[in-house]
Chain A
Amino acid sequence: MKLKNLALATVLLGGVLLSATTLDAHEGNIHKKQSKRTKQNKYAGWYMRTRVSAVTADGTVYEHNTAGVFGELVDSKKRKDRHDISAFGPATLQVVFPHYDWGEDESGDYWSDYRKYNKFRAKEREVWTFQIKNQKDVNLANADIKIALDDAKILHYNKKNGNIEYVETGVDTEMKNRFTLVDVDNNETYSIDELENAGLTMEGKHTRTFRWVKGKVKSKDYKPLELPE
Chain B
Amino acid sequence: MTAYQWRLVSVPCDTGSNGVEALLKGSLGEYGEPEDGGHWVMYKQSGSDNYETNSSHPNTDKSKLDENSTLVQGISYWIITDADHNVTIDETLSDISPTTTQDANSTGVNITDPDFTKVAIMQLPNNIMNVAGDAKKYMAGNPFPYSFHVGNLYFKHYTANSNTYYPMGDTNNNDYIRSVVYTHDSTDTGPVTGYTAIDPSTPGFGGSIQPMEGFFIKLLEENTDNGINSFAFPLIMSNQP
Binding site for B on A (CB under 8 A): 4-5, 7-9, 11-23, 25-27, 29-30, 32-34, 47, 49, 60-67, 69, 71, 73, 82-83, 85-86, 88-94, 105, 111-112, 114, 137-138, 153, 155, 161-164, 166, 168
Determine whether the beta carbon of A112 is less than 8 Å from that of B204: yes
Binary contact readout B152-179 vs A (1 if CB under 8 angstroms, 0 otherwise): 0000000000000000011110100001
Min C-beta distance of B68 to chain A, whole Å: 22
A211 CA to B155 CA in the complex, in Å?
A: 38
Determine whether the beta carbon of A85 is less than 8 Å from that of B199: yes
Consensus secondary structure, chain B interface: loop
Chain B residues bordering chain A, tally (CB within 8 A)? 65
Determine whether the beta carbon of B170 is less than 8 Å from that of A17: no
A91 CA to B86 CA in the complex, in Å?
A: 25
Q: Which residues of A contact B96 (CB under 8 A)?
A: 12-13
Determine whether the beta carbon of A29 is less than 8 Å from that of B191: no
Within 8 A of A (CB), among B179-234: 179-180, 182-183, 185, 187-208, 210-213, 216
> Who on chain B is nearest to A63 by CB?
B193
B144, B180, B202, B241: which contacts A17 (Cβ < 8 A)? B241
Q: Which residues of A contact B206 (CB under 8 A)?
A: 26-27, 29-30, 33-34
Of the A-B pairs whose beta carbons lie under 8 Å apart in the complex, a sample of 13, sorted by A's number, is A12-B13, A12-B96, A13-B91, A21-B210, A25-B147, A33-B149, A33-B200, A33-B206, A88-B194, A92-B192, A92-B193, A138-B191, A164-B201
How many cross-chain pairs have Cβ atoms below 8 Å apart between A and B? 172
B12, B179, B203: which contacts A12 (Cβ < 8 A)? B12
The 4 closest A-B pairs by CB, nearest first: A91-B194, A30-B206, A26-B207, A15-B88
A16, A26, A88: which contacts B145 (Cβ < 8 A)? A16
B145, B193, B196, B213: which contacts A11 (Cβ < 8 A)? B145
B97, B149, B193, B216: which contacts A65 (Cβ < 8 A)? B193
A18 and B87 in contact, given A12-B145, A82-B174, A83-B202 (Cβ under 8 angstroms): yes
Consensus secondary structure, chain A interface: mixed
Binding site for A on B (CB under 8 A): 1, 7, 9, 12-13, 59, 85-89, 91, 96-99, 118, 133, 144-147, 149, 151, 169-172, 174, 179-180, 182-183, 185, 187-208, 210-213, 216, 235, 237, 240-241
> Who on chain A is nearest to B240 by CB?
A11
A176 CA to B1 CA in the complex, in Å?
A: 38
Determine whether the beta carbon of A4 is less than 8 Å from that of B205: no
A215 CA to B169 CA in the complex, in Å?
A: 33
Determine whether the beta carbon of A61 is less than 8 Å from that of B190: yes
Further 11 A-B residue pairs, CB within 8 A, beyond A12-B96, A17-B241, A112-B202: A8-B99, A8-B145, A9-B98, A15-B88, A25-B147, A26-B207, A49-B204, A66-B197, A88-B194, A94-B193, A163-B201
Determine whether the beta carbon of A17 is less than 8 Å from that of B86: yes
A12 CA to B142 CA in the complex, in Å?
A: 13
Q: Which residues of A contact B171 (CB under 8 A)?
A: 162-163
Min C-beta distance of B84 to chain A, whole Å: 11
Q: Which of B12, B194, B195, B207 has the most CB of A within 10 A?
A: B194
